Amino acid sequence: MKYITTPIYYVNDKPHIGHAYTSIAADVIARFYRIFERTENVMFLTGTDEHGQKVQKSAEKLNINTQDFCNEISSQFRNLKDTLNLSYNYFIRTTDENHKQTVLKMWQLLEEKGYIYKSFYKGWYSQKDEAFIPDNEVNDGKDQNGNSLEFLKEESYFFKLSAFQDKLLNFYKSHPDFIKPSSYMKEVVSFVKSGLKDLSISRTSFTWGIPVTKDPKHVIYVWLDALCNYISAINYLGSDPSKIEYSEHAKEYWDESIHLLGKDILKFHAVYWPAFLIAADINPPKRLFVHGWWTVDGQKMSKSLGNTVDPIQIVNKYGCDEFRYFLFKESNFGYDCNFSENGFVDKINYDLCNDYGNLVHRVLTLANKVAINGIFKLSRSFDLSKNIDSEISSKTIKLKETLKKYINDGLLTEYLKAVFDIISIANKYVNTTEPWKLIKTDLQKFNDVISELIKVIIDISIFLYPFIPESAKKALSFVGISEINENVLNTIYEGLPLEKPTPIFNKIDNKKVNNG
């Protein structure tokens, strides 16, 4: 069982490259696991976060019904499935009825265990910013810009987060791989060590949220609401709204859960979420894969600079697989990275067209020359395990275990490097064996070389499939393979029906970059 999630995206913002990055990363991991696991054993979840004051205000501003507003933006995120070729199994919305039930059950659990109490949220409130201003920025009832503030005392429910400092620290210590890359773990530990305050988990200042059952003028804090999506999507607390019943099936998924998230929401996932779960006697998720942010041409992406990268536009202009590949080949997954359109075009042209695409094309063109009735009969040397003295065979054989390790550790960039290392060796192998000469001088040797290369191409295409699904399928279709699973790696092929290859990727003219 594997359970991969993206954060649920807040409907107050439209899809941008950050959303695309997280979603595609999750998709890559899900697709990889599906090669080796039964499809139904891999659950990939995404969705939208729809409650909160900002959403309510945005809808009011546009003078439309709040739910209608959510439906509209939520569908934009749902449509990313087609644009980015995402393979999620379930799209959750926090306005879904079964999600609301789960959140209320969670509240009930936290309350029963004695971790919720009612008190007052006090502080200086700025009407202008619609937010509480921290005490150290307040002077004589005015903020740093001299705007007058109002001292508010709002009734609120609190979660006893302060009781979880040691429990969290113990958890981190006993689960050193909880957060990847590990540098983010240091950040979290030092945050928790610095002390935790109880957390306000209800609001009375607006209504767009899930009302507390016994005290409906309070709506539940958006983050408590939102984080619960990870367990409501698998019905961890049961589907019957009237009672809590733990599902064994859900637990199997939960024990293998991987949350993907950007570094901006690390605290919520690494501190609050485990605290809520521990409080409710539920295990924290297995892994958090944290990633960095994209800059554009060295500058921070922002609406005011007008340099935001619209993933939909890029995909339409250059293609989906091209975009998916670039995101992980260019970045060092986990850390900040820079987007430049020129860099993008270079990666597509050099890696995808020249190295991988051309390898497939040149080898299959050669194979076609000797195919009889469209069938290429493989010689014994297609079985890579029998060619361990050959560099390319021995490395390809080892690749599977290496890649599994990389995926388990969230090393997506390393993964691509390892595969392209094989591609480079394969191209070298073609050059040194010179099959275009062998075809005239030594047909047996020619068949051996091409057979080995075809097998390598099949394997690396399977391994590239999670990143570039449509292109990998196209490459495999040239040799009559339409299934994507582990069997393809293990099957001993006698002969393969060949199609005349066509280019998998089209080279991008550099001029296109500036001319739109």
Residue 300 touching RNA (CB under 7 A): yes
Q: Please tell me the distance from the alpha carbon of residue 95 to that of residue 101, in angstroms, as a whole number.
A: 10
Q: Kindly tell me which residue out of 16, 57, 142, 362 binds RNA, with binding defined by CB under 7 A.
A: 362
Residue 486 touching RNA (CB under 7 A): no
Q: Kindly tell me which residue out of 50, 330, 341, 459 binds RNA, with binding defined by CB under 7 A.
A: 330
Residue 405 touching RNA (CB under 7 A): no
Residue 505 touching RNA (CB under 7 A): yes
Residue 441 touching RNA (CB under 7 A): no
Query: For residues 59 and 418, which CB has a smaller minimum distance to RNA in the complex?
Result: 418
Q: Please tell me the distance from the alpha carbon of residue 244 to that of residue 228, in angstroms, as a whole number.
A: 14
**Alpha carbon 289 to its chain's center:** 8
Q: Please tell me the distance from the alpha carbon of residue 150 to that of residue 137, in angstroms, as a whole number.
A: 14
In the numeric block, the tokens 């960039």 are attached to 413
Query: For residues 83 and 433, which CB has a smaller minimum distance to RNA in the complex?
Result: 433
Instruction: Using DSSP, state whether 176 is helix, strand or coil.
Output: coil
Q: Measured from the CB of residue 418, what is the shortest distance to RNA in angstroms?
A: 12
Q: Kindly tell me which residue out of 174, 373, 432, 482 binds RNA, with binding defined by CB under 7 A.
A: 432
Residue 510 touching RNA (CB under 7 A): no
For 304-317, b/e burial (b = at least 16 CB within 10 A) is: eeeebbebbebbeb
Residue 162 touching RNA (CB under 7 A): no
What is the residue-wise DSSP string for 393-437? HHHHHHHHHHHHHHHHTT-HHHHHHHHHHHHHHHHHHHHHH-HHH
Query: For residues 90 and 436, which CB has a smaller minimum distance to RNA in the complex?
Result: 436
Binding pattern for the stretch 101-140 against RNA, x by CB under 7 A and - elsewhere:
---------------------------------x-x----
Q: Please tell me the distance from the alpha carbon of residue 495 to that of residue 307, in angstroms, as a whole number.
A: 52
Binding pattern for the stretch 38-77 against RNA, x by CB under 7 A and - elsewhere:
----------------------------------------
Q: Measured from the CB of residue 188, what is the shortest distance to RNA in angstroms?
A: 9
Q: Kindly tell me which residue out of 145, 194, 441, 490 binds RNA, with binding defined by CB under 7 A.
A: 194
Q: Measured from the CB of residue 331, what is the shortest distance to RNA in angstroms?
A: 7
Residue 504 touching RNA (CB under 7 A): yes
Q: Is there a contact between 4 and 258 (Cβ–Cβ < 8 Å)?
A: yes
Instruction: Using DSSP, state whether 180 is helix, strand or coil.
Output: strand
Q: Kindly tell me which residue out of 337, 422, 449, 460 binds RNA, with binding defined by CB under 7 A.
A: 337
Q: Measured from the CB of residue 412, what is the shortest distance to RNA in angstroms?
A: 12
Q: How many CB atoms lie within 10 A of CB 424?
A: 13
Q: Please tell me the distance from the alpha carbon of residue 131 to that of residue 413, in angstroms, as a whole number.
A: 40
Q: Please, which residues have CB within 8 angstroms of residue 480's CB and are 6 or more apart in sequence?
A: 496, 497, 498, 499
Q: How many CB atoms lie within 10 A of CB 340?
A: 14
Residue 436 touching RNA (CB under 7 A): yes
In the numeric block, the tokens 């293990």 are attached to 490
Judged by CB under 7 A, how many residues of this single chain contact RNA?
50
Q: Encoding tokens for residue 490?
A: 């293990």
In 3D, which of 402, 453, 416 has the Cα closest to residue 432? 453
Give the DSSP letter of residue 243. S
Q: Kindly tell me which residue out of 316, 338, 444, 487 binds RNA, with binding defined by CB under 7 A.
A: 338
Residue 190 touching RNA (CB under 7 A): yes
Query: Which residues of the shown chain bind RNA in the complex (CB under 7 A)?
Result: 134, 136, 183, 186-187, 190-191, 194, 263-264, 266-267, 293, 298, 300, 330, 332, 335-338, 340, 343, 346, 350, 353-355, 357-358, 361-363, 365-366, 424, 427-428, 430-432, 434-437, 503-507
